[in-house]
Amino acid sequence: MLNFGRNRAQPRSNRPLSLGGMDYSDPKRKNNVVGKILLAATLTALCIIMLKQSPTFNSPSPFSLHEEGMTHVLVTGGAGYIGSHAAMRLLKDGYRVTIVDNLSRGNIGAVKVLQELFPEPGRLQFIYADLGDPKTVNIIFQQNAFDAVMHFAAVAYVGESTMNPLK
C-alpha cells in the first residue's frame, strides 16, 4: 500500500527550493560575493603577470621595424578588387604588405585568400580601419614602418562619390 503521509527525509525548512526541476539554494543563505570578487581579481592579475612574462608580449611586431632588404608597403583598399590584386603581386615579389580597409566595398574573402597563400609570419597583416578617421590613421602610421603606400581606398560608385565627395 502507498503511504501518502508527509514522511520526508529532510524537514521542509532545510531542503533547497525547487522550481521546475531547478534547485535553488536557500534564500536566507548569504552568497560569498566578496570572496568571488577577490578570486576573480586574483586570477586576472595572475593572467596579466603571465602575459607580461611571455617573450612575445613586449617584442616588437615585424611590421613596426625597418628590415634591411624588406620593403613594407601599405595597401589601402586592399580588400577590394584592384587592391587585393596589387597586394598579391607585392607578396609574390617578396614585399611585406599591410592592408587597411573598412570593408565598405571590399571583401574579407580576398584577404583570407591572401592569408592562406602567404601564411608566413611577418609578411601580411590586415587592419580593419576607416581612413576617414585621422586619429586611426596616425595610430596606424605610428605602429608600422612603411616604406611605400599604394592608395586604392575610394568610393567606387560615381553617383555616390559626386553626391558626397568627402566621404
132-154: average pLDDT: 94
Query: What is the rounded CA–CA span in Å between residue 146 and residue 61?
Result: 13
Q: Nearest CA to 65 among 151, 153, 143? A: 143
Q: What is the pLDDT of residue 66?
A: 82
* Pairing assessment for the beta strands 148-151 and 72-76 based on DSSP bridges: parallel
Q: Do 100 and 79 form a contact (C-beta atoms < 8 A)?
A: no
**pTM, 2 dp:** 0.63
Q: Do 63 and 72 form a contact (C-beta atoms < 8 A)?
A: yes
pLDDT class for 1, splitting at 50, 70, 90?
Answer: low
Q: What is the pLDDT of residue 38?
A: 85
Q: What is the pLDDT of residue 51?
A: 75
Cα separation of the two ends of the chain: 84
What are the grid coordinates assigned to 164, written together? Answer: 558626397
Q: Do 140 and 100 form a contact (C-beta atoms < 8 A)?
A: yes
